[in-house]
Chains A and B, each alone.
Chain A
Amino acid sequence: MPIKVLIPTPLRPYAGKQSVVEVTAQTAGEALSDLVAQHPDLRKHLFSEDGKLRSFVNVYVNDEDIRYLSKEATLVKETDTISIVPSVAGGR
């Protein structure tokens, strides 16, 4: 079932300039794997060399951070939205 993944501005250049990517997945982890399979350039921005999700990138299913759900094992369904929220610092 297709799930929407919202791509934040800093990462859009690596996702074919798209702001939303549809993935097929049952868990948050699968969704991210499908995402980087579709857009390999995203991999190094989301994952470190040993395959872990980078700590300055937060992943939300709807409005909850997956850290407080079941992390990569968090179940996702068709009506859910996955958001990637990296830290930005601009203020001027």
Chain B
Amino acid sequence: MADLIDGSQATLSNEEILRYSRHLIMPEVTLEGQKKLKAARVLCVGTGGLGSPLALYLTAAGVGTLGLVDFDVVDYTNLQRQILHHTSDVGRLKIDSAIDKLTAINPFVEIKRFDTYLNSQNALEIFSGFDIIADGTDNFATRYLVNDASVLSGKPNVYASIFRFEGQASIFGAKDGPCYRCLYPDPPPPGLVPSCAEGGVLGVLPGLLGIIQATEVIKLILGAGEPLVGRLLLVDALAMRFRELRVRRNPECPVCGTHPTVKHLIDYNQFCGIRGEDSEASNNVKIPEIQPEELKRRLDANDDIFVLDVREPHEYKIVNINGHLIPLGDLPTRIHELDSSREIVVHCKSGMRSAKAVDFLRKSGFKRVSNLAGGILAWADRVDRSLPKY
């Protein structure tokens, strides 16, 4: 098997040799293996639940270059499981908090900082500087982005995901192996699978899965053991049972199959939002609209308007106009949070999901509801140019 990492040019100082002595004396590692670790460049996408144990153990193990991608800020509710971050870090950028702790554990690791939102414009360029990608993100759009970018870049993607007390782990995009889309060609419609904020998560669970990820990254670097390529590990932490399912490479996979049709990164928010199977908004009935300038004028005049945002939580974190967030898929079960006697303006990213929401609300008897034309993108374009677009 051809080596993924060439460690022949790496050198270890006397201090490093002492530091990694427990690795060096193992026949599965040895000096040669530790040099591969030093030569390896691993990108951790996300420094939260999965990213914390991942980054901590890869740093301790002596991975030479560790890239971190995270634009988020430490929140008090993160501390239950995101062990890279301390109470004193609440309010700080996660990436800065992470760098402080990782550098303290192992100053020999070179850390590359990407305090940015990973998207179709920057992913390939960022990935080009690394050998292995470790996906520690928390939403479908980014998972499909990471998968596609990994396959297009020819880099293996060590994957794990969690929900409540169950987790999955595998390696996608390895040579001759399947990719994420071979397993799940289509994302679920938004709102059908709750996020950690809605479903809750056992704090230790991302710890368990993140360590499994780190183990697989190290095995890939060393070329040791049997990696989880073509294998989906299912973990049930409450029962403490581990099962394994086979994942096959799909010859018709649009990204990694024999005749791939996806050769560039696409708009993943759209892929996950609009491509959901239930598109029932009737195009016949005219959806009442309000232009961004008009909404701004009325909000400034203190009109009593309730702004409803039907995007996903990870989008809200990127940019928002202080709307009340109910993701589109949750609207039917959370409709009681809305007061039908008030005027409601609904928005999403570009105006399509919110149109469906307005349609649904009108059919549910809401009379004073309208759609923000062009969504938050139009708002960022024409009303408040300081806001980021995505």
Contact = CB atoms under 8 A, between A and B. Distances in A.
Contacts of B137: 89, 91-92
Most buried by A among B46, B78, B195: B195
Nearest to B183: A58
A55 B183 CA distance: 10
A91 B246 contact: no
Interface string B260-303: 00000000000000000110000000000000000000000000
A54 B51 contact: no
B162 A91 contact: yes
A91 B165 contact: no
Contacts of B140: 87, 89
Interface residues of A, number: 24
Interface in B178-232: 183-188, 192-196, 199, 201, 206, 232
Most buried by A among B46, B188, B199: B188
Contacts of B278: 48-49
B245 A87 contact: no
A45 B189 CA distance: 10
Interface stretch (A24-32, A61-69, A71-79): A61-69
Interface size on B, as a range, is: 35 or more
Interface string A34-72: 000000000001001100001110101001110010000
Contacts of A58: 183-184
A9 interface: yes
Given A63-B246, A65-B246, A91 B49 contact: yes
Contacts of A10: 163, 193-194, 199
Contacts, number: 102
A65 B46 contact: no
Interface string B231-270: 0101000000001111110000000000000000000000
A92 B136 contact: yes
Contacts of A56: 184, 186-188
Contacts of B192: 45
B50 A91 contact: yes
A90 B188 contact: no
B50 to A, nearest CB: 5
Given A90-B196, A91-B135, A55 B163 contact: no
A21 interface: no
A87 B147 CA distance: 14
Nearest to B50: A91
Interface in B56-91: 78, 81-82
Contacts of B183: 58, 87
A52 B51 CA distance: 36
A85 B188 contact: no
Contacts of A91: 46, 48-51, 135-138, 160-162, 206
Contacts of B50: 91-92
A85 B138 CA distance: 18
B135 to A, nearest CB: 7
A92 B49 contact: yes
Nearest to A55: B186
Given A85-B232, A91-B161, A92-B137, 5 more contacts: A63-B244, A83-B245, A88-B162, A91-B135, A92-B48
11 contacts: A9-B163, A58-B184, A63-B244, A88-B161, A88-B166, A90-B49, A91-B51, A91-B137, A91-B160, A92-B49, A92-B138
Pairs A-B, 10 closest by C-beta atoms: A92-B48, A92-B49, A91-B138, A88-B163, A55-B186, A87-B184, A56-B188, A90-B162, A91-B50, A92-B138
